Amino acid sequence: MNDRIKKAESVLEMLPGFQYLYKGEVYTETMKYLIKKGWALEAEDCGSVHLASLAGMDRNDIYFQALDKEPAAIKAVIGTCRFVASSLKEIELINEAAAGNLAPGHLEVIGIAVIAEAYDDGTMPGFRVEELSQLAVEARKLRSISIRGCFIKGNTKGLSGETLGRYFRDCYETAKLVTTTIPCGMSYINVGNSIESSEQTMISGQEAQEKLQTAAKIMTNQNQTAFYAKLLLQ
């Protein structure tokens, strides 16, 4: 078990109701452990997607960012994972691959990477909130994809306790905005860049930990009465 997984286990004990999204080196033993724990994988290449599939991981737990991927790579794993797109070009590539490889009438369910507005440092790939309305217009033209999830991103450096809890809630509100702007359903929400800051909150002390737990509990309760989405931490 590597240090990243150990950190995740500690954080998830503090924050029940969330699922860990692992990103890193993938070996057969790693995959077995992720499946045993009921966790998810962000695959970095086609080989990792195939390894996860062969190990028996559900395709709804295998996420594959289309960022900087060639069309051949997207076609190679179509139907075996959940794509996450950071640009309209990526969505169009996935739509093209789906149109040529899926049975008629079937849609490729995808997610989009969205930058939480208050945490945008200008360096992260993904859709800005102000770009969602135009995305909605363009997405309606694509007949082979369906947007059903979000990877929310933000710069979490320096966040701890109450401020990190506010980031969690802002991620949820950003996902809600996506559902009303696109519009679309929401089967998963990834609270990006959260594991390290959550671990630092644990180190900071009981008061900071309790403030984060309160915010996370509000998020899980809201989710149970609205989306019923998977809540991912990374």
Q: What is the pLDDT along the chain (234 residues), one digit of tens a residue?
A: 688 899 999 999 999 999 999 999 898 999 999 999 999 999 999 999 999 999 999 999 999 999 999 999 999 999 999 999 999 999 999 999 999 888 888 999 999 999 999 999 999 999 999 999 999 999 999 999 999 999 999 999 999 999 999 999 999 999 999 999 999 999 999 999 999 999 999 999 999 999 999 999 999 999 999 999 999 999
pTM value is 0.96
Contact by Cβ (8 Å): 49, 43: yes
Hey, how many other C-beta atoms are within 10 angstroms of the C-beta on 2? 13
Helix axes 46-55, 28-37, angle to 10 degrees: 60
Q: Could you tell me the domains of the chain?
A: 3-233 (3.20.20.10)
Question: What is residue 194's three-state secondary structure?
Answer: coil
